[in-house]
Amino acid sequence: MSAHLQVSGLEVTVSGEHGERIRIVDDVNFEANKGEVLALIGESGSGKTTIALALMAYARRGCTISAGQIRIGDTSVLELSREQLFGFRGNRVSYVSQSAAAAFNPSKSIMDQVIETAMLHKLSSKSAARSKAIELFSSLALPNPETIGNHYPHQVSGGQLQRLMAAMALISDPDVVILDEPTTALDVTTQIEVLRAFKKVVRNRGTTAIYVSHDLSVVAQMADKIVVLKNGTVREAGETMQVLDAPSDEYTQALMAAAKPSLRVESLKKPDSETEAALLELRDVSAGFGRVDADGMPKFTILHDVNLTVERGTTLGIIGESGCGKSTLARTIAGLHPAAAGSICLDGVPLATHLSKRTRDQLRRVQIVFQNADTALNPAHTVEQVVGRPLVFYKGISADETHKRVAELLAQVKLPVDIATRRCAELSGGQKQRINLARALAAEPDIILCDEVTSALDTVVGAAILDLIAELRRELDVAFIFISHDISAVRSVCDDILVLYSGRTVEFGKRENFAAGPGHPYTDLLVSSVPELRQGWLEETSARTILRPVDNAVDVDEICAFVDRCPVRLDGICDTKRPPRLIHANGNEVLCHLPQAES
């Protein structure tokens, strides 16, 4: 019997600068049986989304599907006419994109959008479609399946929206559903729930799915077959088990190596002397947005009494989900977002909250590296201008010396010297991030704040940046604050780790301690939510119990902030009292009511 979905000799081209055709997908072949999940994996630019879109006979602007055959069931997709495609797309093949938030129309209710496909293709009556949607909502483990459809997209969370988009795709009972990086924009704790819901619904309905992702660990949970892509060609294809256990291709091996957590820093640096003041010390720092009240506190508090110390030459990791205040913390330290309360000391000397009141030398000693190198480097400047500016600004050295020093710095971040004359806009993402680091190093700072420096990069490129940071740490006497949502990245380069949850430090301690037993329930949740690079992990990880929401009348500042998500909370204590800061047996400071044995 021939496969349900068959792609052979697929070729997609774009027209180049001078009208020539450039192949971006070249001779791609794969097939999937009914009910199978096939994963397309590769880094950005590998052609994985282009291939996924080609399954709907769709090519993005400027692209042409120039050769090959795609067969779904007994339909030859590429031979369909315009009118036939109208009935085919969304009906027999449907698509779930990376950003559900951008895919939903904010001015229509969710239900209207979910059943729109069914209405458009006249598949069923409105009421039948509605009841089917509700059935899908409940099988996707969405809360209140009966009523969630009446909400508008901005009223539900990102993870819920992603599942609602899956419901939208599945409403027409498609032969093939394409999931294009559906969990990449989500936090790990949300990702695991969405993955579980996707897996269940795909299995139960026997849908054939194409799962597009760059994350091998996620793919290991979802897929039956894996196709590894690079530069538009298939590098390796096979059963998931076989690809994971015995990758034959060099590139697959590199991907596996980048996905495996590794320790990049071996030994802890000891502070030179016990009496010396810490390099950076934050005491009860609070910050927020909005109107400031009589006590000097803003209306919306983002950071609540954060304390931290960074010793010279060590690295502190700050981890938490999106919205927990980790970027605000970096901006507060840098002086971009003035703290409302508390003190920030550099070498024992208090820093002004706003950067305009700091001395030039204080500014030099604290450098910040932003997440997105695309916007952090001025596209109008050359690399030499970008890296050379701090040298001229802080040291006022001559043009000749600047030129020499820029070359040294480029070598330090492992870039060729001839890149200096190029404009930043012409560089790749990884190169930009290295320039970004080189600029920070040019100031010869004492501490560098790295805000999510690897999250916008491909796995392999991101791993190389982590290696670079680890190496810079060994060679230079620079301290880092490494902010990330990725716990394995934080673990691989940091000495101390601080876990931030809704602007509060819930756990703080040495890296080794985090491996030495349970800590704060949130940390445990975070750690257990990171997918492991093996099949069956998703099934083994216990499903989360749905928790009763906490009475909203209680002032959240007076109780534990994590209470409504905590799997081990004690009713009557956690939802009535503010948690104490305890030292656990593993040596960490933990903000929790629970004695350690129970957590």
Partner 1 sequence: MNRVRGAGLVGLVLVIAWGLIALFGPMLAPYEVGAIVAPDVFERMGGAHLLGSDYLGRDVLSRLLNGARFTVGLSFGAALLASSSGAALALFSAISVRWVDETVSRLMDALISIPGKILALVIVAAFGSSMVLLLLIAAVSYMPGAFRIARSLAVNLNQMEYVQVARVRGEGRVHIAIFEILPNMIHPLLADFGLRFVFVVLLLSGLSFLGLGVQPPDADLGSLVRENISGLAEVAPAIIAPALAIATLTIGVNLLIDSLASGGRSVTDEA
Residues forming contacts to partner 1 in the complex (CB under 8 A) are: 334-336, 355, 358, 360, 363-364, 366-368, 370, 372, 374-381, 389-390, 393-394, 425-426, 439, 443
Per DSSP, the three-state class of 275 is coil
Cα separation values, 458 from 86, 428, 454, 464, 482, Å:
35, 11, 8, 10, 18
- Termini Cα distance of the chain: 53
What's phi and psi for 449, nearest 5 deg?
Answer: -95, 115
- What is the number of helices (H) and of strands (E) in the chain? 22, 22
CB of 365 to partner 1, least distance (A): 11
d(CA 597, CA 256): 36
CB of 379 to partner 1, least distance (A): 3
Comparing CB distances to partner 1, the nearer of 284 and 426 is 426
CB of 335 to partner 1, least distance (A): 7
CB of 185 to partner 1, least distance (A): 20
CB of 362 to partner 1, least distance (A): 9
Single out the residue of 138, 52, 130 nearest to residue 95, CA to CA: 52
Alpha helices (H) in 350-398, listed in sequence order: 360-365, 373-376, 383-390
Comparing CB distances to partner 1, the nearer of 71 and 364 is 364
CB of 261 to partner 1, least distance (A): 29
CB of 302 to partner 1, least distance (A): 17
Comparing CB distances to partner 1, the nearer of 130 and 381 is 381
CB of 420 to partner 1, least distance (A): 17
d(CA 78, CA 71): 8
CB of 346 to partner 1, least distance (A): 14
Comparing CB distances to partner 1, the nearer of 323 and 379 is 379
Buried b (16+ CB within 10 A) or exposed e, 422-449: eebeebebbbbbbbbbbbbbbbbbbbbb
d(CA 15, CA 21): 5
Token pair for 370: 């932003």
Single out the residue of 308, 267, 360, 248 nearest to residue 481, CA to CA: 308
CB of 468 to partner 1, least distance (A): 19
CB of 25 to partner 1, least distance (A): 23
According to DSSP, residue 551 is labeled P
Single out the residue of 384, 423, 422 nearest to residue 404, CA to CA: 384
Comparing CB distances to partner 1, the nearer of 269 and 381 is 381
Per DSSP, the three-state class of 583 is strand
CB-CB contact of 262 with 256 (8 Å): no
Comparing CB distances to partner 1, the nearer of 366 and 527 is 366
Buried b (16+ CB within 10 A) or exposed e, 188-199: bbbbbbbbbbbb
CB-CB contact of 490 with 326 (8 Å): no
Comparing CB distances to partner 1, the nearer of 5 and 449 is 449
CB of 440 to partner 1, least distance (A): 9
Comparing CB distances to partner 1, the nearer of 128 and 425 is 425
Comparing CB distances to partner 1, the nearer of 49 and 436 is 436
d(CA 195, CA 201): 10
> What DSSP string describes 456-522?
TS-HHHHHHHHHHHHHHHHHS--EEEEEES-HHHHHHH-SEEEEEETTEEEEEEEHHHHHSS---HH
Amino acid at 388: G
CB of 368 to partner 1, least distance (A): 5
Distance of CA 157 to the CA centre of its chain: 16
Comparing CB distances to partner 1, the nearer of 257 and 336 is 336
Cβ-based neighbour number of residue 47 at 10 Å: 24
CB of 382 to partner 1, least distance (A): 11
CB-CB contact of 406 with 377 (8 Å): no
Q: Which residue has the tokens 């690399």?
A: 383
d(CA 368, CA 389): 15
Q: What's the residue count for the chain?
A: 599
245, burial (CB in 10 Å: exposed 0-12, middle 13-18, buried 19+): exposed
